[in-house]
Structure 1
Amino acid sequence: MELRRARPADSPAIRDVARRSLGASYSLEPQAITNAIEEWYAEDRLATMLSDPDRVLLVADDAGQVVAFSESVVAAANTATLLWLHVDPAHRGKGIATDLFEATDEELERLDVLDLRGRVLAENEAGNAFYQDHGFRRVGTDTVEIDGRSYVENIYAESEQWGREAIDAPDGHSVYVDHDNHERGSLAPFHVVFTTREGDDRYGYFCSNCNTLALAMDSMGRIECETCGNVRKPVRWDAAYL
């Protein structure tokens, strides 16, 4: 089994693995899966992702056949997020997921990443158990749109928590900046902000460049601070930003 960086020629296999993996792991309609694959892994979008220095796509190549892949994005300084780890259902149970996860972690370390986060849909029991078995703990939640419907993602982290800091919102109420949950911006990281210290409800984002709240985020995960212009790239690819 060869674990390597994805190449443009791997695009059809990546789409096939993602389609079969999503179908086996989630209760999604076939058309929803097809639409999601075309949205996230179309030929031109994969080409752009492969050329993006902040994106890491690794594949597991079994004698010339791609049977799994991981998709990661470098977020805030020294932080990266593993967005997806897909294994073809016909090749599960062989330890490929663990091997690919470790290879991904090593590749990110070469990019000076010290803190790895993971995202997995809340309904994927095996995926959540995978992170827990590898010493990660759930530190928050987010949402992802699949074919126009929102799904809850659990966010996992491996480092010690720094805590949540209370700040005043414009309406005078306290909200809580999560220093353990941040994303890279064009000027400085964005931190997730919750309405309670326990992190039950999302309020918005905190721009660490100008120390203001940034509430605007589109469905692809693009955040823009209206005060200083700090921008986070879309987490999932949207043709408007290619």
Structure 2
Amino acid sequence: MELRPATPADRPAIRDVARRSLQASYSLGPQAINSAIEEWYDEDRLEATLADEERLLLVAEKAGQVVGFSESVISADNTGTLLWLHVDPAHRGEGIASSLFDATYDHLQERGATHLHGRVLADNVEGNAFYEAHGFENTGTESVEIDGRTYVENLYSESEQWGREPVETDDGRTVYVDHDNHERGSIAPFHVVYADEGGDERYGYFCSNCNTLANAMDSMGRIECDTCGNVRKPLRWDAAYL
């Protein structure tokens, strides 16, 4: 088996592996899976991912066939986030997921990452067990709505916790960035920010791409950083995606 960075020629195989992996691992209907593939792995999105120096797309190849891939991102605060790890169901149980995980971790560390996060839907039993077997801890959850249904996504972090870092707002107030609790952004994760060190009152979010506070969230759950354009998409998918 060869582990290597993805190339533009791998795009059809990546979509195929992602589709079969989603069908095998998640309780998503065919329409939701088709929409997800078009949203996350269309030609333009994959081209942008391959060109983005902050992103890493690795593939696992056996006998000339792509049988798995990982997608990850490293943010400005040196946090590495494993966004997806897909293995063709026909090749599971061969150690491909662990090999991809280790290679992803090594590549992120070479790029300066000092900590790794991951996320997986709660109903993906194998995915959750995988993170736990690799020494990760469940550090929280996030609700996501796909195709009219709400799912729980588990957030994982390495056992060593970073804790909360005090930062000062523009008006001189001290708030606390939780480096172990974050939500996915279009460029890099948004860390949850608390108004108090104990984490009893949520203040807003911290954009890890440009290290600035991003407070605004609309009623649909959308967050956008005014400084760099990093966006947390709404929790609900509207009819345009389905």
TM-score by length of 2: 0.78
Partner of 1:91: 91
Q: Which residue of 2 aligns with 1:224?
A: 225
Matched residues in 2 for 1:219 and 1:52: separation? 28
Q: Tell me the number of residue pairs that the alignment of Structure 1 and Structure 2 aligns.
A: 227
Alignment of 1:103-118 (within 5 A): 103-118=103-118
Would you say 1:9 and 2:9 are equivalent positions? yes
> What amino acid does structure 2 have at the position aligned with 1:232?
N
- Distance of 2:46 and 2:72 partners within structure 1: 13
Report if aligned partners of 2:70, 2:101 keep a CA contact under 8 Å in 1.
yes
Work out the percentage of aligned pairs sharing the same amino acid. Answer: 63
Give the drift of 1:141: 2.1
Q: 1:218 to 1:45 in 2, by over 3 A?
A: farther
Unaligned runs of 5+ in 1: 168-174, 237-242
Distance 2:28 2:202 in 1: 25
* Structure 2 unaligned residues grouped into runs of 5+: 168-174, 235-242
Q: 1:203 & 1:150 partners in 2: Cα distance?
A: 25
- Give the C-alpha shift of residue 91 in structure 1: 0.3
Describe how 1:51-200 pairs up with structure 2 within 5 A: 51-147=51-147, 149-164=149-164, 177-182=177-182, 190-193=190-193
Distance 1:199 1:51 in 2: 38
Separation of aligned partners in 2, 1:25 and 1:195: 38
Deviation of 1:231 (Å) = 4.0
- Asked if the contact 2:79–2:114 (Cα under 8 Å) also holds between the matched residues in 1, the reply is yes
Partner SS state of residue 137, structure 1: strand
In structure 2, the CA distance between the partners of 1:31 and 1:75, relative to structure 1 (3 Å rule), is same
Q: Report the counterpart of residue 238 of structure 2 in structure 1.
A: none
Note if contact 1:177-1:191 (Cα within 8 Å) is conserved in structure 2: yes
Residue deviations 1:197-216 (CA, integer Å, cap 9, x gap): 89799764146889756132
Q: Aligned equivalents of 2:178 and 2:18: distance in 1?
A: 31
Q: CA deviation at 1:165?
A: 7.1
Q: Secondary structure at the match of 2:155?
A: strand
Q: 1:221 to 1:100 in 2, by over 3 A?
A: farther
Q: Would you say the 8 A contact 1:216–1:224 is kept in 2?
A: no
Cα distance per residue 1:130-177 (max 9 Å; x no partner)? 00100111112234454465432211111522335799xxxxxxx974
Gap change, CA 1:232 and 1:50, over 3 Å in 2? same
State the one-letter code of the partner of 2:230. Answer: R
**SS of residue matched to 1:93:** coil
Q: CA RMSD in A?
A: 3.7
Q: Distance between the aligned counterparts of 2:100 and 2:139, measured in 1?
A: 23
Quick one: distance in 2 between partners of 1:18 and 1:31?
14
